[in-house]
Amino acid sequence: MSELEKRYSPGLAAQTKRPIEDPGIEPHRVRMTDKSEKHARTAERQIAAMFGVSVIGAIIAIWGFFAFPIVDGDLSATRNNSLWMGLGMALSMLGIGFGAVHWAKTLMPDNEVSELRHQARSSEETRAQALEVVKLADGESGFTRRKLIRRTMYGALAFFPIPGIIIFGDLGPVVGDSLRHTMWKSGTRLAKDPTGIPIKASDVTIGSVFHVIPEGLEDLEEHKLEEKAKAAVLLVRVNPEDLNEDPAKADWSYQGIVAYSKICTHVGCPVALYEQHTHHLLCPCHQSTFDLANHCEVVFGPASRPLPQLPITVDAEGYLVAQSDFLEPVGPSFWDMRK
């Protein structure tokens, strides 16, 4: 087997003889437009008509732009504008498209022709010449011969892109302990989301749910969304008998009122759905389900950690307040969260 044959070896392919000879390309089927001038003229008129329709479409689109100016508060103007411009554009495009394709299919020749391919591989002569060029260039530059130059060049080429990576170092600040802390601190009142009105313990009836933000969040000058993305809390009051509380955390709730982080421990969606009779909290993004009555442990879905609990109590005026910040990071797990 020659070198070239080896390079183009059929591998595991079996060599079977075909039962018949390749009959060659099928004979051309004559179309009506090929043999009848009348049909050809009809096709010509059809194509012209399609191009004509295209012009009408363009005119409709232009008319749609001017006929429906924007009227503040009137959505039907926007709708008509969009509809007629869109339909006009569609008609003008489809007219050209169908016209051109119809033209190709009816009037242009449709006999298939064959053309030879050439192997991608260059001819032996060309390859030899190319090799010569490379060798000549190598000799002239001394690329192979001068090892010192070659190796230092590799070194330089390896190092020069590094500043180009380092330069992006300020894309974001160094991660401090921001992932471990939220706005909650001792005495922060629990307020309604989004109004910011503080919640009195007496307002929370059994079975009711409040979407909660820390009081003062709305007044933040900056980083409002960043703080909210960590501090959002779900407040629920259940019958204290239904609560299976950890004795160590028994004073984290107030008369059956419990507050849990609303940020899913899976990948951070808001756990916004509460099912009253099962006390289950459901994340609508990936269906992680947490049992509110049982320390918000995961009962279903891809999450692994329970939702962190916010220790709460009431202040002198009867408003619900946080005892402290969350005692563990909220939201998705990250590698050094326990350190």
Partner 1 sequence: MTNTTEQKQGFVGGTANYLDERLGLGAVVKGFGRKIFPDHWSFMLGEVAMYSFVILVLSGTFLTFFYQPSMAEVHYDGSYAPLKGAQMSIAYASSLDISFDIRGGLIMRQVHHWAALLFVAAAGLHMLRVFFTGAFRKPRELNWVVGFLLFLMGMAAGFTGYSLPDDLLSGNGLRIIDGMIKGIPVIGPAVSSGFFGGEFPGTEVVARLYSLHIMIVPALIIVLMGVHLMMVVIHKHTHYSGPGRRDDNVVGYPLMPVYVAKAGGFFFLVFGVIAAIAATFTINPIWNYGPYDPSPVSAGTQPDWYIGWLDGALRLAPSGWDVVIAGFVIPMGVMVPLVVSLVFLALVAAYPFIENWVTKDKREHHVLDRPRNAPTRTAIGAAGVTFYGVLWAGASTDLIATNFQMSLNQVLTAMQILLILGPVIAYWVTKRACLSLQRKDREMVLHGRETGRVVRLPHGEYIEVHEPVDKYELWKLVDFKEYEPVLPRPDARGKITVGNRLRSAVSRLYFEDRIAPVSKAEYELAHADHAPAIEDKPKSKRKQKALTK
Which member of 2, 37, 76, 108 binds partner 1 (CB under 8 A)? Answer: 108
Which member of 204, 257, 303, 310 binds partner 1 (CB under 8 A)? Answer: 303
Shortest Cβ 272–partner 1 spacing (Å):
5
Q: Does 164 bind partner 1 (CB under 8 A)?
A: no
d(CA 179, CA 234): 19
Nearer to partner 1, 17 or 250 (CB): 17
Three-state SS at 300: strand
Q: Does 104 bind partner 1 (CB under 8 A)?
A: yes
Shortest Cβ 57–partner 1 spacing (Å):
9
Which member of 28, 59, 82, 242 binds partner 1 (CB under 8 A)? Answer: 82
Shortest Cβ 4–partner 1 spacing (Å):
10
Q: Does 167 bind partner 1 (CB under 8 A)?
A: no
Q: Which two tokens stand for residue 138?
A: 């190598």
Site for partner 1 in 318-337 (CB under 8 A): 331-337
Helix (H) or strand (E) holding 313: strand 312-314
CA torsion 163→165→166→172, rounded to 10°?
150
Place of tokens 């980083």: 223
Site for partner 1 in 4-23 (CB under 8 A): 6-14, 16-20, 22-23
Which member of 81, 313, 323, 324 binds partner 1 (CB under 8 A)? Answer: 81
Shortest Cβ 186–partner 1 spacing (Å):
23
Give the per-residue SS3 of 51-108.
HHHHHHHHHHHHHHHHHCCCECCEHHHHHHHHHHHHHHHHHHHHHHHHHHHHHHHHCC
Q: Does 216 bind partner 1 (CB under 8 A)?
A: no
Nearer to partner 1, 111 or 202 (CB): 111
d(CA 179, CA 331): 9
Site for partner 1 in 25-54 (CB under 8 A): 25-26
**Amino acid identity, residue 310?**
L
d(CA 218, CA 198): 12
Nearer to partner 1, 113 or 133 (CB): 113
Place of tokens 């300020």: 170
Site for partner 1 in 258-297 (CB under 8 A): 262-264, 266-270, 272-273, 284-288
Site for partner 1 in 56-75 (CB under 8 A): 65, 68-75
Left, alpha or beta for 268 (phi > 0: left; psi -120 to 50: alpha)? Answer: left
Site for partner 1 in 127-146 (CB under 8 A): none
Shortest Cβ 297–partner 1 spacing (Å):
10
Which member of 115, 140, 219, 241 binds partner 1 (CB under 8 A)? Answer: 115
Please state, in angstroms and as integers, the Cα–Cα distance from residue 252 to each residue in 85, 322, 325, following that order: 61, 9, 12
Q: Which two tokens stand for residue 61?
A: 């689109």
